[in-house]
Every structure is written in C-alpha cells, then in structure tokens.
C-alpha cells in the first residue's frame, strides 16, 4: 500500500483512498494537496525549469531515453499498479506502457529539429533582414490527467512538454494517483538533480488549484464538462490550455470491406479497456449490402468475450462506479426506444462488470448514439450508402477520431470525416505513430499532443529579424521622403496590382 508523498505528509493532510474496482480493496492512500501545496510545487518547478531548460536538447533526449529504458525494464511492475487502480487486465496495461515508449524517444530526438532556430523567408521590402524563428519552452506546465489510460495519456503531454524544455507539475486522477506516483519516482531516478517532474494528488479542487497557480499552460485530458470548468478557471489568469476531451467515435464499414477484420476491429475498439477509451468506437455505420453479415460476425465474436474481475477475463470492470449509471441509462433508453441488445444489455451489469453489449435499431437521437457512453457498448446502424454514413458520422458535437473499413475508398472517406484523427482498415493506429498529432475538434477539445504539433504546443514562437544592412527604401522613419512613398506605391502596384 502506498502511503507517502513528497509534499504534504499523510499525517498533516486530509487523505483519500484508492480502491481496486474489481475487489473493492483499498490499494493506496494519498494526501489531498491544498492550494498552498500546489503553489509550493509550482515555485519549486520554476527553479527546476531554469536548470532543465539550460540543458541542451541532446542531454534532455538522453534523460528521456533513460526514462523509457526504466519503464521498459519495469513494465510489469507498472502494469500491476495500473491493474490494481483501474481494473485493467495486466496484458492491456503492459501494452499501454509499451505504446508510450516510442513517444519518449521520438520527442527527445526530434525536439531540436522541430523547435530549434530556423531561418525564415523575407520579402522584397525586407530583403536587408535575416529572419529566424525558434520555439522556446513556456516554463511550468500543469498536467491534469484521467485514469482510463493513466500512463499513455498523461505521458503524451508530459513527455512532449519536458522534451521542449519545460518543468511539469502533474495531477493524476484521484482514481490513479499510484500510477502517477510511480511515473514521477522513475523519472526522478533519471533526473535526480531538480524536481523537473512533480506529483500533486487530490481531487477536483486540487486540479482547480493547479489551474490557478500561475503555471504557464495547462494540459488537460478528461471529460468535456470538466474541460469547460478548467477553461473558466484558466480564463481568470489568461493561462492557456490544451484540452483533450471525450468523443463519440465512429467506425464505418463500406460494402467492399474485409468484414471479418472490420468486426474484429469494432469489437476491440469498442470493448477493450471496458470501452473506457477516449478514441474507442461507440457507433458503427455499415453499408446495407453487408450489414447482416457484419452484425452476425460481430455478435459471434462478442459472445466469445467476457468481462470480469478474474485473470481470465479480457475485459475488466468499469473503473468509476458513477459511470455505471451512464452506461445503464444509455442501454435502457436505447431498448425503450425500440433498440435491441444482441449481446450483453442492462441485465448483464453485475457489480462494476458490464458484459460486451451490441445494440441495433437504436434511433439516431438516443443518448446511446449522441453522448459518450464510456462503456463496452456499440450501436450498429445500417446505411444505404457511404455518403449517409459520413453525414451521420459528422453529425456529432464531438470530433476526436474515427475508423474506416473500405478496400477502394478508404482514403477518400477518411478525408471527409470531421475528426482530428482517422484510421483506415485498422483501429487505434495513429496514437502509435509518434510523428502524428493527437487531438480533436468540437467538444473533443483543441490543441494537440504528439508529433511536431505536440512539441510546439508547449512552447512560444520567438521571432527575430536582424538587419544585415540599411534598407535602400527607408520606410519606418519619420524622415521618410515623398520619393520613398512613391517608390513603394510603384513597387506594390507591380507586385500585387495585377490580381
């Protein structure tokens, strides 16, 4: 059982317990850090930033590679903490850690190329200038993370912020503070000199205190509703925000798709991690020519999977007890409006375990189709053509990610989806590619983690125009002559007047 934290001792602070969602057993006790604790952590981070940002890119990359090495060697240890706190099966937990490692290397290695000073083109009027731009670290980044992917998701912000030269104060979800503690301890082994990455624990008010603490940016991952609260607090101090929020992701199945692969992917993207994936599939639209075969295949596969608390179950329990009410409401409402559960259903909910649920004939305005369910459920609907599939997919306030299964038209259909990310003939591929940006539009949030955009997200552009020799056409002076004005007018007419 974990009982220590570097700031705020258990004895002097109110605490909260973390429960194993499978057994209900207490697996950790953590302090609820106060506003004063948060401010102290941010003050320490300022000093750490001075030191960390003073290292060169190569040294920061070396430390991040060392961090990746520790995570790789101790993956099973970390997977056990993840399993205890979230109920996630061990092998899924290990997979999540594995998928994070490439990002650590990529961010460290590519930071100099993406952020380092580069020359910029000049125009005719500024031919005497040498222009350049560099992306400098913002300072201290506050990272607020969710519990559903407690390693991959916060690291997507933390690692890119660190590679860019920032210090980080990390507030994990109250459901996964042990994972946060573990990550910060490991990072401290490779960067022992300064508290470049610190942990604060607590609940919503602790997160709000971080937003108020004067950090230079907040990287928030969580629900859209909480993002709005975070944004309101950040607005008080003009603290910028990157918001990675929820989704209602679709999977489209065209008439020529490989139906077995599409059904397998829909099942995995919908049910893995008990459906608690921001980029998890929740809606499936299938061309009418292959609908029946697809549904049969999907249901056959779904019936072979079982959710449970035991080690044989590939689908774990629902982590947050309050989410069960949302899942139950969506299923019951769908069935009350004429939908049918071909597997699972509301009756299959026992304790915190929900069996894989495939719903068909659900009206498009039902919450099961419009709201994030965040459980192991899929709605499957028949469409007459792929134009209708695209229209339904885009008719959502969310726009995080999507998947398309089509042999001939995969890229074309992908291009028409209003989402931040799309996989073609596969699912969950884009987050595994560190050079691709990750993020959404609409209620799914704004800003990007991962890739060059993810590095720049934690920086500010610093532009320099250096005069190499005096201009032949002196324009920015009160001594400007009539001749200079006339020459400028002639030049402008020549350059732009033809259009």
Residue 203 makes contact with ligand NDP by CB under 6 A: yes
The DSSP secondary-structure symbol of 375 reads S
Strands 118-120 and 421-424: unpaired
Choice from 94, 159, 162, 230 touching ligand NDP (CB under 6 A)? 230
Biggest CA pair distance of the chain: 85
Size of the site for ligand NDP (CB under 6 A): 30
Selecting among 96, 174, 244, 457, the annotated active-site residue is 244
179 is a contact residue toward ligand NDP (CB under 6 A): no
Is residue 135 at the binding interface for ligand NDP, with CB under 6 A as the rule?
no
**Terminal C-alpha separation, the chain:** 72
Distance CA(105)–CA(99), nearest Å, equals 12
Q: Is 148 in the site for ligand NDP (CB under 6 A)?
A: yes
Phi-psi category of residue 256: left, alpha or beta, with phi > 0 → left and psi -120 to 50 → alpha: alpha
Nearer Cβ to ligand NDP (102/258): 102
Asked if 35 contacts 209 with a C-beta cutoff of 8 angstroms, the reply is yes
Decide if 44 contacts 135 (C-beta within 8 A).
Answer: no
Tell whether residue 379 is a contact of ligand NDP (CB under 6 A): no
Cα–Cα distance, 119 to 258 (Å, whole number): 48
What character string, x for contact with ligand NDP (CB under 6 A) and - otherwise, covers 277-316? -x--------------------------------------
Candidates 5, 110, 198, 226: give the one binding ligand NDP (CB under 6 A): 226
The stretch among 141-149, 178-186, 249-257, 410-418 that binds ligand NDP (CB under 6 A) is 141-149
- Reported residue count of the chain is 499
- Can you tell me whether residue 225 is helix, strand or coil? helix
Binding of residue 428 to ligand NDP (CB under 6 A): no
**Residue 24 lies near ligand NDP (rule: CB under 6 A):** no
Integer angstrom CA distances of residue 393 from 70, 416, 446:
41, 10, 19
Among 30, 52, 149, 160, binds ligand NDP (CB under 6 A): 149
| Closer by beta carbon to ligand NDP, 81 or else 342 | 81
Does 161 help bind ligand NDP (rule: CB under 6 A)?
no
List 86, 100, 173, 423, residue binding ligand NDP (CB under 6 A): 173
For residue 258, what are the contacts with CB-CB under 8 A and spacing of at least 6? Answer: 405, 407, 425
Would residue 234 show up in a list of annotated catalytic residues for this protein?
no
> Does position 371 bind ligand NDP by CB under 6 A?
no
Secondary structure tally for the chain: helices H, strands E:
16, 20
DSSP for residue 457 = T
278 is known as an active-site residue: yes
Nearer Cβ to ligand NDP (34/343): 34
Is 422 a binding residue for ligand NDP by CB under 6 A? The answer is no
**DSSP conformation class of 319:** S
Alpha-carbon torsion, ordered 143, 146, 151, 153, to 10 deg: -70
**Does 207 participate in binding ligand NDP (rule CB under 6 A)?**
yes
Given 188, 221, 379, 423, the residue binding ligand NDP (CB under 6 A): 221
Q: Does 115 interact with ligand NDP (rule: CB under 6 A)? A: no
- Contact range with ligand NDP by CB under 6 A, out of 126-134, 240-248, 339-347, 484-492: 240-248
Burial (CB count within 10 angstroms: exposed 0-12, middle 13-18, buried 19+), residue 229? middle
List, by residue number, the catalytic residues. Answer: 244, 278
Q: Contact positions toward ligand NDP, by CB under 6 A?
A: 144-149, 153, 171, 173-175, 203-204, 207-208, 211, 221-223, 226, 229-230, 244-247, 278, 372, 374, 400
């Amino acid at each position: 059982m974990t009982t220590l934290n570097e700031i705020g001792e258990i004895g002097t602070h109110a605490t909260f317990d973390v429960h194993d969602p499978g057994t209900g057993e207490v697996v950790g006790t953590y302090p609820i850090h106060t506003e004063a604790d948060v401010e102290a952590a941010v003050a320490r981070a300022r000093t750490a930033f001075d030191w960390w940002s003073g290292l060169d890119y190569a040294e920061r990359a070396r430390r991040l590679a060392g961090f990746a090495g520790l995570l790789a060697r101790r993956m099973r240890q970390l997977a056990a903490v993840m399993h205890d706190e979230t109920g996630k099966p061990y092998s899924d937990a290990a997979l999540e850690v594995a998928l994070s490692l490439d990002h650590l290397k990529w961010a460290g290695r590519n930071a100099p190329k993406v952020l380092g000073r580069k020359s910029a083109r000049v125009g005719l009027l500024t031919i005497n200038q040498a222009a350049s731009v560099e992306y400098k670290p913002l300072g201290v980044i506050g990272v607020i993370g969710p519990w559903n992917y407690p390693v991959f998701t916060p690291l997507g912000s933390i690692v890119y912020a660190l590679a860019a030269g920032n210090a980080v104060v990390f507030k994990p979800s109250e459901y996964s503070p042990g994972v946060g503690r573990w990550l910060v301890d490991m990072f401290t082994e490779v960067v022992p000199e300064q508290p470049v990455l610190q942990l604060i624990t607590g609940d919503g008010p602790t997160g709000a205190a971080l937003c108020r603490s004067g950090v230079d940016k907040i990287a928030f991952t969580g629900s859209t509703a909480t993002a709005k609260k975070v944004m309101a607090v950040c607005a008080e101090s003009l603290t910028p925000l990157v918001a990675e929020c929820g989704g209602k992701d679709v999977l489209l199945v065209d008439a020529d798709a490989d139906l077995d692969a599409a059904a397998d992917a829909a099942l995995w993207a919908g049910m893995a991690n008990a459906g608690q994936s921001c980029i998890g599939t929740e809606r499936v639209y299938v061309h009418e020519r292959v609908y029946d075969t697809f549904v049969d295949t999907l249901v056959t596969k779904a019936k072979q999977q079982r959710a449970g608390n035991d080690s044989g179950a590939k689908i774990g329990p629902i982590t947050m007890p309050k989410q069960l009410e949302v899942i139950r409401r969506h299923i019951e409402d769908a069935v009350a409006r004429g939908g049918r559960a071909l597997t699972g259903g509301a009756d299959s909910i026992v304790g915190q375990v929900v069996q894989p649920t495939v719903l068909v004939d659900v009206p498009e305005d039902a919450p099961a189709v419009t709201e994030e369910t965040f459980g192991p459920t899929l709605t499957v609907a028949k469409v007459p053509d792929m134009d209708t599939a695209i229209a339904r997919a885009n008719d959502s306030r969310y726009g995080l990610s999507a998947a398309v299964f089509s042999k001939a038209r995969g890229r074309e259909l992908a291009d028409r989806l209003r989402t931040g990310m799309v996989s073609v003939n596969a699912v969950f591929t884009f987050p595994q590619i560190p050079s691709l940006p990750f993020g959404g539009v609409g209620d799914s949030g704004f800003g990007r983690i991962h890739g060059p955009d993810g590095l720049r997200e934690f920086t500010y552009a610093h532009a320099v125009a250096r005069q190499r020799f005096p201009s032949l056409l002196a324009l920015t002076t009160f001594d400007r002559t009539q001749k200079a004005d006339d020459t400028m007018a002639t030049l402008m007419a020549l350059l732009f007047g033809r259009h």
